[in-house]
Structure 1
Amino acid sequence: MEKSARSKFNANFSTEKYQQFLQLLNKDLPADVAFRVAETPIFLTTEFKEKLLAAGNNILQTILQPGFKELTERAIPQKWKVANENDHPHFIALDFGVCKDEAGNIVPKLIELQGFPSLYGFQVKLGDTYSQAYDIADDWTIYFNNLGKQDYTDLLRETILGPYQPHEVVLMDVNALEQKTSVDFYITQQYLGIPIVSLGDIKQKGNQLFYEANGEDKLIKRIYNRLIFDEIETEGTPFDGYVDLRQTLDVEWVTHPNWFYRISKFTMPYLKGDAIPKTFFLHELAAIPADLENYVLKPLFSFAGQGVIIDVTATDVESIKDPENWILQEKVHYKPVVEAPDGGVKAEIRLLYLWPDGDDEPTLAINLARLSRGKMIGVRYNKDFDWVGGTTAFFPK
């Protein structure tokens, strides 16, 4: 972490400034941001940024290799498999914990990866607000590959809209405006002009989909998908009460739902490199490691940390009834590298890639970061703490 920028920030920080920052962040939004936003951004050194880039590039080589689809076919639950899958994901997110290696060097370690969109709109506003509220110098940026704000939003537009007009593309989630991430939906709508629809708002006529606007049914040509299908899991039939989106429909996906499963915890055992924790499919584990305290047990088909067993015992491993759907992953020990006024805070940095149709490979564009004092990064593990929550990382241009 860049020490001089951190020292300057902390010296000028006050609770009053943080409250002013939050007021500025929530200004002009339909509702206040529904998740905790941290008091501070992260300031990375160029050296650590380069380590992140190298780790990300190494992981992309696996995703870009011929045969990746065949390798990950088992990752897609049959009941959630959707027709008309395209050739590549439009979004890739790589989560890295900030850790220390055996030699004492600060290094990134992969936590998880997603073939699914993240807060691509909100992070722009968040970076702008940190810069304005705390007077961060112009020679710091949150964008990669020499992108500026306009370059980035142009790339986001190209990725999501493609050849279509804004009214032909919908941002869709199950109950879109009730999601904690709805602030990102609203900001994305501001940038791109696309409508926000809930799953229940979609109508089907033949093999085409429609939404209603101004009393008229509007044809949907492309869905910017923010729906995680697990969220509509019921005891009945999948998509019970909704249009069954698994059908062969005359619609494009950004990104196609199958990529949520292909690029996920399922990919971890296939990855190699210094930034990759040792990971095994549980059903392929030859023997339970003697140092089991150094591993976590994760279900493949869950999200937001649900079902993860942190303090694993041999009994936990042996009692899993569907070991093909679990991984055993080496624990990643976060280093509290971000100096708060009352001590160190752990950090995680998410690299966010955009891959519009027609490009040969994804472009690393922006980042998201999270600060934590709890046992895990998520909100439920950081209640009643300060200097934790969602943030972004700045680094020298």
Structure 2
Amino acid sequence: MIPKYRKQFNEEFSQEKYEQIQTLLKETSGIEPKFRLSESPIFLTQEFREKLLSASESIIDQIKNLPEEALEKSIPENCKVPNDTKQPHFFTIDFGVCKSENGKIEPQLIELQAFPSLYAFQNVYEDLFCKVYPFLNELRNKISKEDYQKHLYDLIIGDENPENVILLEIFPERQKTAIDFALTEKLLGIKTVCLTKLKKVGKKLFYENNGNLIEIKRIYNRVIFDELDKIPDLKTEFDFREEIDVEWVTHPNWFFKISKYLLPLLKHEFVPKSYFLNEFPENESLENFVLKPLFSFAGSGVNLNPTKEITDAISDKENYILQRKVNYEPIFEDINGDFSRAEIRLLYIWKENEERPILLQNLSRMTKAAMVNVDFNKKDAIWIGSSHAFFGE
């Protein structure tokens, strides 16, 4: 899409420039990314952007109009965390870049989350693309770096001292998103703390810094709560389900409330039809659907070709959905004349007491495989991995 930008990028591309971006990322963050970076951004039209925004605004309206009890039903009983908030701090929404039956390139909703994505990393990544390929500056995000930082500072730090705010993760140094943690620390002046290092005294939480115990007032939460049960012999002083004197950014309950659980409840021309597995109608054909566990992360557990034998063997059918298949269109041409597919994630923030979220940034992911996820890019190819979308005419 947008042939003039694709042509210019492909003409200017070199392996040296690709490696330059990686070097600059390491210099900026202090660490190397643990996921593959695509050699190229994707270029999308303003018309496509308007379709993305139209669909997103409709989805936001529908979520806001859902009764609270409908959202509450999504939270497993053993995962409920006290002191919920009226809305999440983050809202991310993934769309595939697809071709419709009428031949138009259109977005199709893949999933949505109220969970932080690579907010710090992605803005730096865009900046480095523009630094190495200066012609991209005319297409860059209109939010200045200063305003971008202020939005995230106000959201995550609020009125607290950054010393009393932490980014919380489980074994953060092992996570693929560690580079985003490092860039968040630089951006906001906060510490990344492992869940196993938290100290609990009464209803208060503390972390240790240079031999001193520092009280935690706000937690920028990057822990996927229901993943903790999969870690053998995990020892912590703090259980998420305990009552504590801390503010969550974002509250763990929202990981469940805005998730694949909502897909069967949403309606829009760019939202593929979805059903809970236990409600799948007899007049639909399984071969037209993808099977997804409700609360998996990063594409785990997804079955692209479910069969009746597979679905019949699932005992907790209410915890799975079937989503109508969409066709990611291979339209992003590489320097060898091969084409990649892509999806785009819109990164919103939702400030406390604000009626609607603010679109801050995007990230995209490119693939030549059947699933658009960095974990599924096993093929030795180019134009695959984590990327960024630029919009133009």
TM-score range for the pair, normalised by the shorter chain length: over 0.9
- Which residue is equivalent to 1:162? 158
- Which residue is equivalent to 2:261? 266
Q: Distance in 1 between matches of 2:208 and 2:135?
A: 43
- Which residue is equivalent to 2:219? 223
Q: Distance in 1 between matches of 2:268 and 2:351?
A: 27
Q: Distance in 2 between matches of 1:235 and 1:197?
A: 17
- Which residue is equivalent to 2:107? 108
Q: TM-score, normalised by structure 2?
A: 0.96
Q: Which amino acid aligns with 1:165?
A: N
Instruction: Decide whether the 8 Å contact of 2:94 with 2:111 is kept in 1.
Output: yes
- Which residue is equivalent to 1:385? 381
194-203 or 239-248: bigger deviation: 239-248
Q: Distance in 2 between matches of 1:214 and 1:288?
A: 64
- Which residue is equivalent to 1:295? 289
- Which residue is equivalent to 1:372? 367
- Which residue is equivalent to 2:71? 72
Q: Per the alignment, in what secondary structure is the counterpart of residue 340 of structure 2?
A: strand
Q: Distance in 2 between matches of 1:162 and 1:113?
A: 25
Q: Per the alignment, in what secondary structure is the counterpart of residue 25 of structure 2?
A: helix
Instruction: Decide whether the 8 Å contact of 1:223 with 1:253 is kept in 2.
Output: yes
Instruction: Decide whether the 8 Å contact of 2:275 with 2:323 is kept in 1.
Output: yes
Structure-2 change in CA distance of 1:137 and 1:382 (3 Å) = closer
| Residues 1:307 and 2:306 aligned together | no
Q: 1:66 Cα shift?
A: 5.0
Structure-2 change in CA distance of 1:311 and 1:137 (3 Å) = closer
Identity %: 45
Q: Distance in 1 between matches of 2:326 and 2:97?
A: 9
Q: Distance in 2 between matches of 1:235 and 1:4?
A: 49
Structure 2: which 5+ residue stretches go unaligned?
A: none
| Residues 1:93 and 2:87 aligned together | no
| Residues 1:203 and 2:199 aligned together | yes
Structure 1: which 5+ residue stretches go unaligned?
A: none
Q: Per the alignment, in what secondary structure is the counterpart of residue 121 of structure 1?
A: helix
- Which residue is equivalent to 2:130? 131
Deviations 1:58-77 (CA, angstroms, capped at 9, x unpaired): 1111221251x311222111
Q: Distance in 2 between matches of 1:317 and 1:115?
A: 28
- The number of residue pairs the alignment matches comes to 391
Q: 1:241 Cα shift?
A: 3.5
1:41-80 equivalence runs, <5 A: 41-67=41-67, 69-80=68-79
1:337-356 equivalence runs, <5 A: 337-342=331-336, 343-356=338-351
- Which residue is equivalent to 1:333? 327
Q: Which amino acid aligns with 1:373?
A: K
Q: 1:235 Cα shift?
A: 8.2
Q: 1:55 Cα shift?
A: 1.1
Q: Which amino acid aligns with 2:385?
A: G
Q: Distance in 2 between matches of 1:79 and 1:231?
A: 12
1:14-53 equivalence runs, <5 A: 14-53=14-53
Instruction: Decide whether the 8 Å contact of 2:374 with 2:386 is kept in 1.
Output: no
- Which residue is equivalent to 2:280? 285
- Which residue is equivalent to 1:5? 5
Instruction: Decide whether the 8 Å contact of 1:24 with 1:133 is kept in 2.
Output: no
Instruction: Decide whether the 8 Å contact of 2:81 with 2:242 is kept in 1.
Output: yes
Q: Per the alignment, in what secondary structure is the counterpart of residue 347 of structure 1?
A: strand
Q: Per the alignment, in what secondary structure is the counterpart of residue 138 of structure 1?
A: helix
Q: 1:234 Cα shift?
A: 4.2
Q: Distance in 2 between matches of 1:362 and 1:228?
A: 22
